[in-house]
């Protein structure tokens, strides 16, 4: 009857990071953009995708979808905030190559498709297609491990981010 008498379910802390696409996973230091490669926004990784099906890098919730559709902000249950930035300098494309499948408040997991991206439209605009995953509140990170590089499939476990 009254919710305050019920025991709360324990929050499941899934600290795993997942590949957002099938393709080549690289450390963030290898991304061809100094804002990312010099970790100005935080640590993370990128996937050079073979296809435009882009999935969530975490189990958590969508905090924001950028108006230009090139980036989605998410939060893990442990409080870490994750930015999925689709392509390099793609803000200039005003959302054209991005079909976003989620909205603010959407609960996501590694099986949740975040976007369908027209990779050819990004390339023909002279932009790179790196799908960059960044932990933006590094001050809250106790440890970050990237356990896998090279070829990955969307949804593969690639690392851990602990708060």
pLDDT of 137: 97
Cα–Cα distance measured from residue 14 to residue 10, given in angstroms and rounded to the nearest whole number: 12
Tell me, what's the pLDDT at 6? 55
- Which pLDDT value is given to residue 13? 79
SS (H, E, C) the chain: CCHHHCCCCCCCCCCEEECCCCEEEEEHHHCCCHHHHCCCCCEEEEEEECCCEEECCCCEEEEEECCCCCEEEEEECCCCEEEEEECCCHHHHCCCCEEECCCCCCEECCCCEEEEECHHHHHHCCCCCCEEEEECCHHHCCEEEECCCEEECCCCEEEEEEC
143/141 Cα distance (integer angstroms): 5
Q: Is residue 11 scored above 70 in pLDDT?
A: no
Residue 12 has pLDDT above 80, yes or no: no
Coil, helix or strand for 65? Answer: strand
The residue-averaged pLDDT of 16-33 equals 97
Active site residues: 85
Distance of alpha carbon 20 from alpha carbon 111, whole angstroms: 10
Mean predicted lDDT score pLDDT of the chain: 94
Superfamily of domain 13-162: Glucose Permease (Domain IIA) (2.70.70.10)
pLDDT band, very low/low/confident/very high, at 147 (cuts 50, 70, 90): very high
């Amino acid at each position: 009857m009254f919710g305050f008498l019920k025991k709360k379910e324990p929050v499941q802390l899934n600290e795993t990071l997942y590949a957002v696409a099938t393709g080549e996973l690289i450390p963030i230091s290898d991304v061809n953009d100094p804002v990312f490669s010099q970790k100005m926004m935080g640590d993370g990784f990128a996937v050079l995708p073979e296809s435009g099906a882009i999935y969530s890098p975490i189990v958590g919730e969508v905090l924001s979808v950028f108006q230009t559709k090139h980036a989605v902000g998410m939060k893990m249950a442990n409080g870490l905030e994750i930015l999925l930035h689709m392509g390099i300098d793609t803000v200039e494309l005003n959302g054209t190559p991005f079909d976003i499948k989620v909205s603010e408040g959407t609960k996501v997991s590694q099986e949740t498709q975040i976007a369908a991206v027209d990779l050819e439209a990004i390339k023909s605009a002279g932009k790179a297609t790196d799908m960059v995953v960044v932990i933006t509140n590094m001050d809250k990170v106790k440890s970050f491990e990237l356990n896998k590089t090279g070829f990955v499939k969307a949804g593969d476990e690639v690392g851990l981010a602990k708060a």
